[in-house]
Amino acid sequence: MDISAELVKKLREKTGVGLMDCKEALKHANGDMEKAVEYLREKGLAKLQKRSGRAASEGVIASYIHTGGKVGVMVEVNCETDFAANSKDFQEFAKDVAMQVTAATPLYVKREDIPEDVKAKEKDLYKRQALDSGKPEKIIDKIAEGKMEKFYQEVCLMEQPFIKNPDITIKGLLEDLVVKIGENVIIKRFVRFQLGETAAE
């Protein structure tokens, strides 16, 4: 089918991807904008999977202070080049991540960061709750696994729904940025300060 220049321009504005790639995606998706975006995303991510091991030593430390100065967050987001780190898309992403940490209070960046003893304790608690509520023993593990997934979504930044658009997770937001800038991007760490909060003993 014939793809109009206007449609190609719209897709480019939406994704930040080159014109030829946008045209190819729209042809592949028969002019369907959403399918074209998905196609570009998959293609870009597949290409970047090969680069995921590359050093991401550039980046920014972004901060966000909540209105009234009661909560503040600093977050380190890394990429491969200074050029990408200074781009508007990257800077906005880092700011959004800092805002997310402020609003959604995650405890870890990703589930792999959770200590094994914390996971075991949490799972044990869910198993006991299920048993106490009279659930059959054969489905206890399944119930506990389901509750663990919810636990990960609450405490892991990467798995939280993005506060500005709950249809996408922070992981999805990061993947979109990776496709757009063509570099490996890592949320390295964050720290959240709340006024009057005391450090755990």
Query: How do residues 98-137 score in pLDDT, each as one tens digit?
Result: 999 999 999 999 999 999 999 999 999 999 998 888 888 8
CA distances from 127 to 112, 116, 143, 193, 198 (A): 21, 16, 8, 33, 31
Which CATH superfamily groups domain 5-49? Ubiquitin-associated (UBA) domain (1.10.8.10)
> What mean pLDDT value characterizes the chain?
87
Q: Among the listed ranges 48-62, 65-79, 84-98, 131-145, which one has the minimum average pLDDT value?
A: 48-62
The predicted pLDDT at position 49 comes to: 60
Domain-wise residue ranges, the chain:
5-49, 58-110+156-194, 115-151
Please say if the pLDDT value at position 200 is more than 50: no
CATH superfamily of 58-110+156-194: Elongation factor Ts, dimerisation domain (3.30.479.20)
pLDDT, tens digit (0-9, with 9 covering 90-100), for 28-42? 888 888 888 888 777
**Cβ neighbours of residue 7 under 8 Å, at least 6 residues apart?**
26, 31, 33
The per-residue pLDDT for range 137-182, each reduced to its tens digit, is 889 889 999 999 999 999 999 999 999 999 999 999 998 898 888 8
3/45: higher pLDDT: 3
Question: How large is the average pLDDT for residues 50-79?
Answer: 84
- Name which of 185, 114, 96 is nearest 156 in CA terms: 114
Quote the pTM value: 0.71
Q: Which pLDDT value is given to residue 201? A: 35
The matching CATH number, chosen from 1.10.286.20, 3.30.1180.10, 3.40.50.720, 2.40.10.10, for 115-151 is: 1.10.286.20
Give every CB contact of residue 199 below 8 A, 6+ residues apart in sequence.
none
